[in-house]
Amino acid sequence: MLGQNVNIRNIEGCKRIRLLHLVSTFAVKTDTKWLYQLMGRLPRDRFEPAIACMYGGGEMMQHFAGLGVQTWNLAAPGGMSPLAVWRAYRLIRSFDPQIVHTHLLRADLYGGLAARLAGVPVVLSTAYALGAYSRDKIRRLDGVLDRMCRAVATDGLAVSDAVRSDLIERLRWPAERVSTIHTGITFRGAEEAACEVRPSECESERVRIRDAWHVPNGSPLVLTVARLSYEKGLDVLIDAAAHVRDHVPDARYVVVGDGPLRDTLQRRITAAGLENVVRLVGFRKDISTILSAADLFVLPSLSEGMPNAVLEAYAAGLPVVTTSAGGLSEAVAHEVSGLLVSPGNAEALATAITRVLQDETLRCRLAHDGQAWARKRFSIERIVDQYAEFYERLYAERAGVSQARLSQETCDLDAHPAERAESDNATAACEDTDSACALPKAVDICGLPVRPVSRGQFIGTLVERAKQGIRTRVHYLNAHTFNLACDQRGFRQILTTSDLLYADGMSVVWAGRWLGRRIPERLSAADYFTTFCQQCAAKGVSVFLLGGAEGVSQATAWWLTRQIPTLRVAGTHWGYFSEDQTQSVIELINESGADVLVVGMGSPCQEKWVARYADALRVPVRWTVGALFDYFADREPRAPQWMCRCGGEWIYRLLSRPRERWRRYLVGNPRFLWLVFQEWLAGVNGQQVA
Residues facing residue 473 across a β-bridge: 622
* pTM of the shown model: 0.62
* Maximum Cα–Cα distance across the chain: 104
Instruction: Give the per-residue pLDDT at 247.
Output: 95
Q: In the predicted model, what is the mean pLDDT of residues 378-394?
A: 95
Instruction: Give the per-residue pLDDT at 82.
Output: 73
Four-way CATH pick for 17-184+381-397: 3.40.50.2000, 2.10.25.10, 2.60.40.2550, 3.40.50.300: 3.40.50.2000
Instruction: Give the per-residue pLDDT at 675.
Output: 87
CATH 3.40.50.2000 maps onto the chain at 17-184+381-397, 190-375
Give every CB contact of residue 49 below 8 A, 6+ residues apart in sequence.
19, 20, 21, 39, 42, 69
Q: Please name the amino acid found at residue 44.
A: R
DSSP string covering 448-459: EEE----HHHHH
Render pLDDT for 645-654 as a digit per residue (tens, 0 to 9): 667 787 887 8
CATH H-level, domain 190-375: superfamily: Glycogen Phosphorylase B; (3.40.50.2000)
DSSP string covering 365-392: HHHHHHHHHHHHHHBHHHHHHHHHHHHH
Give every CB contact of residue 245 below 8 A, 6+ residues apart in sequence.
251, 274, 277
Confidence of residue 688 (pLDDT cuts 50, 70, 90): very low
**Residue 163's CB: how many other CB atoms inside 10 A?**
27
Average pLDDT over the chain, rounded to whole?
Answer: 85
Instruction: Give the per-residue pLDDT at 6.
Output: 37
- Determine the Cα–Cα distance for residues 510 and 520; give it in Å rounded to an integer: 10
Instruction: Give the per-residue pLDDT at 482.
Output: 93
Instruction: Give the per-residue pLDDT at 188.
Output: 67
Instruction: Give the per-residue pLDDT at 163.
Output: 94
- In percent, the amount of the chain with pLDDT more than 70 equals 86
- Determine the Cα–Cα distance for residues 632 and 559; give it in Å rounded to an integer: 7
Query: Which one has a higher pLDDT value, 414 or 101?
Result: 101
Instruction: Give the per-residue pLDDT at 202.
Output: 62
Nearest to 22 by CA among 66, 81, 76, 79: 76
Query: Which one has a higher pLDDT value, 15 or 461?
Result: 461
Render pLDDT for 173-222 as a digit per residue (tens, 0 to 9): 888 889 999 999 988 654 444 444 444 556 788 889 999 999 998 899 99
CA distances from 305 to 9, 132, 205, 302, 352 (A): 32, 12, 31, 11, 22
Render pLDDT for 230-242 as a digit per residue (tens, 0 to 9): 999 999 999 999 9
Query: Is residue 10 scored above 70 in pLDDT?
Result: no
Confidence of residue 415 (pLDDT cuts 50, 70, 90): very low
Choice among 170-179, 416-425, 608-617 with the minimum mean pLDDT: 416-425
Instruction: Give the per-residue pLDDT at 613.
Output: 94
Per DSSP, the three-state class of 400 is: coil
Q: Please name the amino acid found at residue 576.
A: Y
Helix (H), strand (E), coil (C) string for 497-512 = CCCEEEECCHHHHHHH
Query: Is residue 146 scored above 90 in pLDDT?
Result: no
CA distances from 680 to 144, 211, 445, 513 (A): 11, 59, 10, 11
Instruction: Give the per-residue pLDDT at 265.
Output: 96
Give every CB contact of residue 597 below 8 A, 6+ residues apart in sequence.
543, 544, 546, 589, 610, 617, 619, 621, 622, 623
What is the CA angle 580-586-587, rounded to 5?
Answer: 105
- Determine the Cα–Cα distance for residues 256 and 655; give it in Å rounded to an integer: 60
